[in-house]
Amino acid sequence: MRDLSLLAAVRAAGEEIAAHYPRIDVLINNAGLHAFSQRVTTEGYAEMTAVNYLAPWVLTDALRDRLVASAPARIVTVASRASRQAGAIDPLHDLTDTADFTRRGSSPRYGRSKLMDIMFTQELARQLQGTDVAATCCCPGFNATGLGRELPLAGALEKALTTLNIGNPQHGADIIVKLATDPEFADTSGGYFAARTAEPLQCPEIGRGEGIQRALWDATADLVHTIRRPQST
C-alpha cells in the first residue's frame, strides 16, 4: 500500500511496477479526495493537489516509457465537471498554494485539481502522438463513493443514497472501463468524456488552450522532477 499524497512514494511505486512488468496495457488514474480544510503533506504540498493531480502526473511519468514500449496502450485519468468551479488557473501559484480554506472554499480548490487533470491529459495526448498510446479523461458523474466522508452526516447520507440506488458507482466505473477497453476508443486521444453517454466534453475555457496546458505541464515537471525516492530502512 502506498501513500498517494507522497510523491516520492508514488514515483518509487511506478518505477517498481515498470521494472517488474514487461508490458503495461492500461494505466487508470482514479484515486482522489475532496478535502474540506487545508492539509499539507510532509513534502510541502496541499494534500488535495498532491493526490488528485500531482500523484497521477508522477505515476504516469514513471510508467510512460513502459507504456510506449507496450503500445497499443491507454492512459485514463478520472477528472470531473467540478473543474468548471475552478474560477482561474495560475500554474506556478496553484501547484504550490497551501493557503487555508473554508469548507465552502474547498470546491474551487477541488475543481482546480480536476481541471489540471484534464489539462494534463490533453497535453500528454499531444506529446504521445505517433506512439499508439492514447490518453483520455472522463467525468464519472455523481457517485456515492465516500468522497465527501469528512462532512457531518456523510455516512448516513451515503447509506440513504445507496438504498435509493442514487449515485451508483457502477455508472462512474462504466465510462472508465469503456475508455480503457472499448475498441471504439482505441484511436481516441486527448478527449474528455461524460459518464453514461460517453458524450465528448470540453475542457473549461480557462484551461483549454495549448499554451496554458503546456505551461502547467512545464511547471509540474520542474516541480516533481526534484523529488527523490524514499530511502530504504
CB distance 25 to 73 below 8 Å: yes
Distance CA 105, CA 32 (A): 18
Reply yes or no on whether 21 is catalytic: no
CB distance 93 to 71 below 8 Å: no
90, three cell numbers: 495560475
Q: Which of 21, 45, 53, 110 is catalytic?
A: 110
Residue count of the chain, please give it: 233
Task: Please state the separation of Cα 56 from the chain's center in Å.
Answer: 5
Residue 14 has phi, psi (to 5 degrees) of -60, -45
Q: Is 90 exposed, middle or buried (0-12, 13-18, 19+ CB in 10 A)?
A: middle
**Crossing angle of helices 210-224/55-69, nearest 10°?**
100
**Mind telling me the catalytic residues?**
110
